[in-house]
C-alpha cells in the first residue's frame, strides 16, 4: 500500500527552529514535495527532493533519505506568518506512465510570540 505519516500538530516559538518529519511507504517512489497551506488557502510549493540529502532555500530546508522512507522540513528563524499547515507529498510512478502525487494529512504548525 501507500502511506504517508506526519505529526498532526506542532507548536514553536517565534525566532526558533522547528523540524517537521514525514515518513512514507510507497512503491515507485519518484520524488517528495513539501507544500505550505494557510487556513482556507491554496497549498503553495516549498521544496522538492528526489535524491538523498539536504536542499536549502532561504529559511526553509528539506531533507530526504530514500532508504529510510523519511523526509523532514526544517524552518529556521520562525516568524508568526509561518503558522500554517505543512503538507508532505510523495510522487509515485504508476503503471501507464503516470506519476501520482500522494498527500499526507498535513502538520498544523502554530508559532507563538
Nearer to another protein, 62 or 78 (CB): 62
CB of 103 to another protein, least distance (A): 4
Nearer to another protein, 39 or 113 (CB): 39
CB of 31 to another protein, least distance (A): 6
Q: Which residues pair with 9 in a beta bridge?
A: 108
Q: What's the grid cell of residue 51?
A: 535524491
CB of 32 to another protein, least distance (A): 11
List residues near another protein by CB under 8 A. 4, 31, 33, 40-45, 48, 50, 87, 89, 91, 98-106
**Nearest one of 22, 18, 17, 12 to 105, comparing CA atoms:** 22
Nearer to another protein, 11 or 44 (CB): 44
Q: What's the per-residue H, E or C state across 37-96? A: ECCCCCCEEEEEECCCEEEEECCEEEEEECCCCEEEEEECCCCHHHCEEEEEEEEEECCC
Amino acid at each position: 500500500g501507500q502511506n504517508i505519516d506526519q505529526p498532526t500538530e506542532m507548536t514553536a516559538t517565534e525566532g526558533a527552529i522547528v523540524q517537521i518529519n514525514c515518513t512514507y511507504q510507497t512503491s515507485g517512489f519518484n520524488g517528495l514535495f513539501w507544500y505550505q497551506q494557510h487556513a482556507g488557502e491554496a497549498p503553495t510549493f516549498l521544496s522538492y527532493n528526489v535524491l538523498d540529502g539536504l536542499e536549502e532555500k532561504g529559511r526553509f530546508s528539506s531533507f530526504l533519505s530514500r532508504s529510510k522512507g523519511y523526509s523532514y522540513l526544517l524552518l529556521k528563524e520562525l516568524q508568526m506568518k509561518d503558522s500554517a499547515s505543512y503538507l508532505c507529498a510523495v510522487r509515485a510512478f504508476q503503471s501507464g506512465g503516470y506519476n501520482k502525487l500522494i498527500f499526507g494529512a498535513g502538520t498544523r504548525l502554530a508559532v507563538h510570540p
